[in-house]
Amino acid sequence: MMNANVQSKPVSDITDLPALGMDAGSIIEDFRRYFSHTLGRDQLSQSAYYVYTSLSLSLRDRLVERWKNTKHTYSETDCKRTFYLSLEFLMGRALGNAMLNLQVDPSTADELKKLGLELEDIIDQEHDAGLGNGGLGRLAACFLDSCATLQLPVKGYGLRYEYGLFRQKIENGFQLEEPDHWLRNGNPWEIERPEFSVRVKFCGSVAHYTESNGIRRANWKNTKDVMAVPFDVPVPGYRNGTVNTLRLWKSTATEEFDLSEFNAGSYAEAVAAKNAAEHITMVLYPNDASENGKELRLRQQYFLASASLQDVLRQWIERHGSDFNQFADKNFFQLNDTHPTCAVPELMRLLMDEHGLSWDKAWDITTRVVAYTNHTLLPEALERWSVSMFGRLLPRLLEIIYEINEQFLNQVKARWPGDIDRIRRMSIIEEGHERYIRMAYMAVVASVSVNGVAELHSHLLQKHLFHDFYELWPEKFNNKTNGVTARRWMVSCNPSLSSLITRTIGRGWITDMGQLQALAPYAEDAAFRAEWRGIKQANKVRLAQLVERDCGVVFHPDALFDVQVKRIHEYKRQLLNILHAIHLYDRIKRGDTQDWTPRCILIGGKAAPGYLMAKRIIKLVNAVGQVINEDPACSGLLKLVFLPNYRVSAMEVICAGTDLSEQISTAGKEASGTGNMKFMMNGALTIGTLDGANIEIREEAGAENFFLFGLTAEQVEDTRGHYNPGEIIAADEDLRRVMSLLQNGCFNAFEPDIFGSIIQSIYSQSDPWLTAADFRGYVNAQQQVAIAYRDQERWTRMSIINTATSGKFSSDRTILDYNRDIWHLAQVVVKPVSIL
Ligand code: 26W
C-alpha cells in the first residue's frame, strides 16, 4: 500500500503552476499533446475513443485547478459540510457537462472541425456512467450539480461499480441483459487516491472487556478485512469556480489477507479470497423498488457506510484531534433512501470503539448529523435484513442496533405505557419465525429529519408507513419535492430552445429557473410561437433519427410524439399505455379515423432481470408494435416502438423531442417522478394521474395545461376489497374489444398464450394497479390530447406555459430547501483560478 507520509521537505510547491488557458487555442494544444504524446496515437490510430479521451483529459486539467482551489477554500474556511451517501449515482456523460460548466470557448468546436473532428461525435463516444437504476440515482446526480452550482460544500460518497446497470438488448421482443463494462477503455474523469484507502471489517466476533477505569469496551476481532480505495470524480458548478467531489469506493483485498493464506500453502484459496474482496464493488444491483435480501448487497451497503465515515472521521481528526465536541456542528450526512443506513450503527461504533466516546455522547452526535430521504412507499421495496445474516456479517453492528432499539422502545413505553401492540409495530426488529431489521425504522429513529420527495408522497408517509413515528416525533417529518438540473436537462440537451429563451428573457434562468415565468406572456406572441414550434420540430427530427437507428421504424415529425420512458414496473402502468395503443389500432381497423391525429408512441425502459411480469410487458410492447408498424392501414396514423437500452444519454435526446409526457402511475404509488419534470421544462405536455409530483406540475402549469385522468390516491385506497374489473370490461365496449384482440392472439399468433399472465392480471380483482379502472378516463384524456394537438397554435401556447411554469422543478430549488431546513450550510465562494 502506498504510504501517504512519504514526503521530504518541499523546496518549493511543485503544484504551483500558471493557470491553464481557457481559450480554444490552449485547449486544442493540450488536446493534441494528450492524443499524440500521452496516449501515443497518430493519424492512423485515430480511433474516436482516443480523441474523446484526449479532449476529456485536456478539460479535466482545467477542472483540477478549480478542484484544488475548492478543496483549499473549504479547508481554510473550516466550513460545515454535507455528505450525500448513496448506493447509486447515475451521472451519465461528463464531457459535455464539463465544457458547459467550465464555459469553454465556443470556438473550440470550430478548431476541432479544422482538424476534421465534430464535437458532437466526440461527445457521443462517451460511455454513460450508469451507476444507478433510475430516479433515485439520477436525482443524486442532479443534486451534486446543484450543490456545486449553489456553492455548497457537499461531497457525494458512492461505490465504483465495475459493471453499471446492464445493457438492454431486445431479441425477438424479449429483453436480454448484457454486462456494462463501462471502465474497459479507461475513465478519464476519475482520479485514484490509494493514499486514502481505508480498511473495512467483516465477520469475526466481538469480545467485551472492562478497562481499568471501569468503562466497558467492545473488541471486534478475527475479522475478514477488505480495503476500500477511493476514486474521485470532479463535480463542476455552473461557471462559478467551484468543483465539488464525488468519491467512489472500490473494494480490493488487503495485502496480509493474501500473504497469510499463501504462507499456509493455499495459493488457490488466497486468490479466491482476493476475488471475494474484489466482488463487493463488482456490480450494481439491478433491482429498482424490490429488495431481495442478498448478502452481497448488504456487504456493499456496509462497505460504503464504513469507508465513507472513516474517511470523514480521518479528516476530522487531522484537524481537530480527538475532540468531537464540534463534530455535529460541522458535518452532516444525508441518506439516499435506507440503502446507506448502516451508517447509523457504524458511526456509533467508530465513535465508541475507535475513538473512545461514551454511548450517550456518540448517540447525541449521531442523532444530530443524520437525515433520511424516503423514495418509495411500495412495501416490496422496504429494506429488511435477516438478523441471522446481519449478525454473521456485522456482529458488532447488530449489538449496537439492539441497543438502539432497546433505548428507543423505552421511549415508546414511556409515552404509551402498556401499548404492547405499538411496541411490536414500532420495533426496529421485526419479530416472527425469522427476525428482520427494519432499516427504514432505524433510519427514522436516528434521523433529525425524514422527508418524502413530493407533497403527496410525504403526506402518505406520515399517514401510513411512518404513522406511529409521526405521532411520536411530528417535527422530524417534512417534504422536499424533487427537482432536476436545468444545466443538463435544458441548456445542454436542448441548446436551441435554451438559446431562444436566453435571447428572450436573458440568461438568469439557468441558475434561477423561477425567471422562466417571464416567458409566459410570449405564449401570446405568434412569431415567438412559430420559433418555439420550429425548434420542437427540429428536436423531433433528431429523436426520429434515434428511433430509426435503434428500432428501424420511421417516425414522421408532424405526428404527435407520445413518450413513456422509465423503469418498467406494473405500478407505472406501461400496460395502460399499450391498451390505449391497441384501442387506437382497433379504431383504425374499424375505420373510425375521422379527424385523426397521427401519433407515434415510444416506450422505453429496463426491467429488473428477475421481474418476469415487467419483462413480459416489454414483449407485449414489441409484439403490438410489430403488428401496428407492419399494418399498411396504420401508415401515417399510428406507430409504436420499444426503444432499447433507455439511459441518461438517450433521455437527453428524447425529452427535447417529446410532445406528450406519459405519467400514468396508479395514484399513490409513484413517490415523485423526475422524468415528468424533464419533459415539462422542455415544453412537453403531460397526461397524468394525481400522483407524485404530477400534482404539483399541474398546480404550476394550471389545470388547463395538463391532461388529467384517473382515480385519486384516496379512491385507489377505497377501491381495495371491492374491485371488479370483469364488470368494468363488460361495460366498456372499447375495452372489451381491446381485451378480445389481446385474448385472440392478434399479437402473438405464433407464440400462443405468452400474454396469459398479463391478461389475467388485468382481470384480477386483486390487481393492485387498477388498470381496467382507469382505462376509460385515460382514453378520454388521450382524445382531449388529440384534439388539442390538431390546433397547433393552442398546443404551442400550452407548451410555452409548461416551460414557463417549470421553475419549481429545478433541483437548485430542492437543494436550497434541503439546506434551509436540514443542512444549514453556508455558501462558500471559491476564488477564480486566474487571480490566485
Ligand atoms: C433495494 C431495492 C431498491 C432499489 C431502489 C428499493 C428502492 C429503490 C428506489 C427507492 C427506487 C427509486 O428509484 N425510487 C424513485 O425515486 C425517485 C427520486 O426520488 C422518484 O422520483 C421516483 O418516484 C421513485 O420511484
Ligand 1 atom with least separation from CA of 373: 19
Let me know if 678 is a catalytic residue: yes
The residues, ordered by sequence, that sit 6+ positions from 612 with a Cβ below 8 Å of its Cβ are: 757
DSSP 560-604: EEEEEES---GGGTHHHHHHHHHHHHHHHHTT--TT---EEEEEE
Over residues 332-336, mean pLDDT:
99
Question: How far, in Å, is the centroid of ligand 1 from the Cα of 289?
Answer: 6
| Residue 127 per-residue DSSP state | P
Atom 22 of ligand 1, nearest CA residue: 673
Let me know if 355 is a catalytic residue: no
Ligand 1 atom with least separation from CA of 88: 5
| Residue 492 per-residue DSSP state | I
Is the CB–ligand 1 distance for residue 691 below 6 Å? no
Is the CB–ligand 1 distance for residue 288 below 6 Å? yes
The pTM score is 0.97
DSSP 709-735: -S--HHHHHHHTT---HHHHHHH-HHH
Confidence check: pLDDT of 836 > 60: no
Q: Which residues of 384-405 are buried (b: 16+ CB within 10 A; e: fewer)?
A: bbbbebbbebbbbbbbbbbebb
The pLDDT value given to residue 290: 85
Positions of E strands within 363-418:
370-373, 384-386
Is the CB–ligand 1 distance for residue 668 below 6 Å? no
Q: How would residue 724 be classed by pLDDT, with cut points 50, 70 and 90?
A: very high
Q: Active-site residue among 396, 438, 566, 606?
A: 566
571 closest CA partner among 693, 433, 454, 716:
716
> CA 617 to CA 623: how far, in whole Å?
10
The pLDDT value given to residue 10: 63
Question: How far, in Å, is the centroid of ligand 1 from the Cα of 165?
Answer: 15
Q: Would you state the cell numbers that stand for residue 450, as one nine-digit string?
A: 425524514
pLDDT digits (tens, 9 = 90+) for 549-580: 999 999 999 999 999 999 999 999 999 999 99
pLDDT digits (tens, 9 = 90+) for 650-693: 999 999 999 999 999 999 999 999 999 999 999 999 999 999 99
pLDDT digits (tens, 9 = 90+) for 339-398: 999 999 999 999 999 999 999 999 999 999 999 999 999 999 999 999 999 999 999 999
Q: How many CB atoms sit inside 10 A of residue 749's CB?
A: 10
Confidence check: pLDDT of 542 > 90: yes
pLDDT digits (tens, 9 = 90+) for 763-805: 999 999 999 999 999 999 999 999 999 999 999 999 999 999 9
Q: How would residue 214 be classed by pLDDT, with cut points 50, 70 and 90?
A: confident
Over residues 507-516, mean pLDDT:
98
Substitution candidate for ligand 1 out of 374, 376, 384 with most atoms within 8 A of CB: 376
> CA 547 to CA 555: how far, in whole Å?
7
The pLDDT value given to residue 44: 64
Over residues 808-833, mean pLDDT:
97
Let me know if 250 is a catalytic residue: no
Ligand 1 atom with least separation from CA of 673: 21
Ligand 1 atom with least separation from CA of 297: 1
Which residue shows C-alpha cell 426503444? 643
The residues, ordered by sequence, that sit 6+ positions from 758 with a Cβ below 8 Å of its Cβ are: 575, 613, 616, 617, 620, 742
Evaluated on CA atoms 749, 754, 756, 758, the torsion sign reads negative
The pLDDT value given to residue 7: 54
Over residues 467-493, mean pLDDT:
98
Region class of 225: left (phi > 0), else alpha (psi between -120 and 50), else beta: beta
Single-letter amino acid code for the residue at 534? G
Over residues 629-644, mean pLDDT:
98
Single-letter amino acid code for the residue at 752? P
Query: Would you call 378 helix, strand, or coil by DSSP?
Result: coil
pLDDT digits (tens, 9 = 90+) for 381-398: 999 999 999 999 999 999
The pLDDT value given to residue 411: 98
The pLDDT value given to residue 259: 56
Length of the chain: 836
H or E element in which residue 776 lies? helix 771-790
Is the CB–ligand 1 distance for residue 153 below 6 Å? no
The pLDDT value given to residue 2: 45
Query: Would you call 294 helix, strand, or coil by DSSP?
Result: coil
pLDDT digits (tens, 9 = 90+) for 142-187: 999 999 999 999 999 999 999 999 999 999 999 999 999 999 999 9
Is the CB–ligand 1 distance for residue 335 below 6 Å? no
Let me know if 666 is a catalytic residue: no
Mean pLDDT of the chain: 96
Question: How far, in Å, is the centroid of ligand 1 from the Cα of 672?
Answer: 9
Which residue shows C-alpha cell 500521452? 38
Q: What are phi and psi of 643, to 5 degrees?
A: -85, 120
The pLDDT value given to residue 749: 95
The pLDDT value given to residue 8: 60
Substitution candidate for ligand 1 out of 84, 87, 138, 288 with most atoms within 8 A of CB: 288
> CA 556 to CA 170: how far, in whole Å?
23
Angle at 149 between CA 144 and CA 153, to 5 degrees: 65
Ligand 1 atom with least separation from CA of 134: 13
Over residues 517-522, mean pLDDT:
98
543 closest CA partner among 645, 640, 650:
650
Atom 7 of ligand 1, nearest CA residue: 289
180 closest CA partner among 160, 166, 159:
166
The pLDDT value given to residue 1: 41
Let me know if 169 is a catalytic residue: no
DSSP 356-376: ---HHHHHHHHHHHEEEE---
Over residues 532-545, mean pLDDT:
98
DSSP 821-833: III-PPP-PPPPG
Q: Would you state the cell numbers that stand for residue 224, as one nine-digit string?
A: 475478514
Q: Active-site residue among 567, 599, 639, 797?
A: 567
Q: What are phi and psi of 219, to 5 degrees?
A: -125, 110
Share of the chain above pLDDT 70, in %: 97
Is the CB–ligand 1 distance for residue 313 below 6 Å? no
Confidence check: pLDDT of 256 > 90: no
The pLDDT value given to residue 293: 84
